Amino acid sequence: MQRIRGVVLPEGEPRDLYLVAGRISYQPAGSATDVGSGWIMPGLVDAHCHIGLDENGPVDEAEQERQALAERAAGMLLARDAGSAADTRWIDQRDDLPRIIRAGRHLARTGRYLRNYGIELEPPGLPAAAAEQAGRGDGWVKIVADWIDRGRGDLTPCWPADVLAAAAAKAQAAGARVTVHTFDEQGVADAIAAGVDCVEHGTGLSEQLIDTMAARGTALVPTLINIANFPEIADRAAAKFPGYAEHMRRLHASAPSRVAMAYEAGVPIFAGTDAGGAVRHGRIAEEVFALHAAGLPAEAALGAASWAARSWLGRPGLDEGASADLVVYPGDPRTDLRVLADPSRVVLRGRIVL
């Protein structure tokens, strides 16, 4: 039996935590070997993480393993994979790799999303496709609600509002929650009107829409370290699509204040990096820093990437008898978030992997 001594978060109580047959126990039973000490948190969560993708589309199993190990080294032990064209189910058989909650494949309008990422289709097929992906994921469906319309030279919704609403209803009736990619003001308005369960990015949110999300419990995963790329995207597009470029710059400039507004309104906010495309894996600590810089208190930003995110996804924290998935830090992350960048111990399924 192995023991970790320290302060257990979020409760903040000093306790001895035991690793027993891969599970957590607070009941001493016989002699124990000390294997770590410090501030103990439930394993980190990246709520928007594309293990199995790079900027060109699906990657092979060797690259999937590399991505998963990069996440594990950062203390990220649970990923909500918000859309992947690769089959990563083999990872579930590896006790040494993070757990993944999948959303199936992105559902995107024909010619209106990144190549090789999603299932591309026209509006009449979206509701049936959403129901099908509900059966292929782990309780989530991902719909691309808006993207650049090259004919108009700017962001526009990908679907008629009634079609998006019908697709959300179909997926939810099949037992899945629906999350949407959205940058645009009208795209996010249509998504919230459709009754989706989660908004990814959400740079087009208004105060009224935020209030609606708060009242409904609709979650927001703002992916701030990905939104940081908007100026570069705008620069590349400016010559051909100046309206789109200016729009992206405006959305970038207002993103932190929208996150702060959402937090103050009571919208559930969770940390997601959007790793797997333009964002490298293993950056969950940076997303926590960005959430804090945008206005979330340190403890709320930590919870968004740990205990609160686990509860939202239906996974346990540091409960008696739960799988021993945890991270240990040498200092108190509530008073110095920088310690997240350097965990002293990472334990997955009761195994010390760092």
Domain assignments of the chain as residue spans, ordered by start? 2-41+317-352, 44-312
Confidence of residue 196 (pLDDT cuts 50, 70, 90): very high
- For residue range 60-89, what is the model confidence (pLDDT) as tens digits? 999 999 999 999 999 999 999 999 899 999
Q: What is the pLDDT of residue 205?
A: 98
CATH of segment(s) 2-41+317-352: 2.30.40.10
Candidates 344, 304, 349; CA nearest to 328 is 344
* Average pLDDT score, the chain: 97
For the domain covering 44-312, report its CATH number.
3.20.20.140
Token digits for 69?
A: 């190990």
Rounded to whole angstroms, the Cα distance separating 222 from 220 reads: 6
Return the higher-pLDDT residue of 31 and 198: 198
Pick the closest to residue 86 from 59, 107, 120 (CA basis): 59
Decide if 2-41+317-352 and 44-312 have a common fold. no
Tell me if the pTM is above 0.85: yes
261-286 CB burial, b ≥16 within 10 A, e <16 = bbbeeebbbbbbbbbbbebebbbbbb
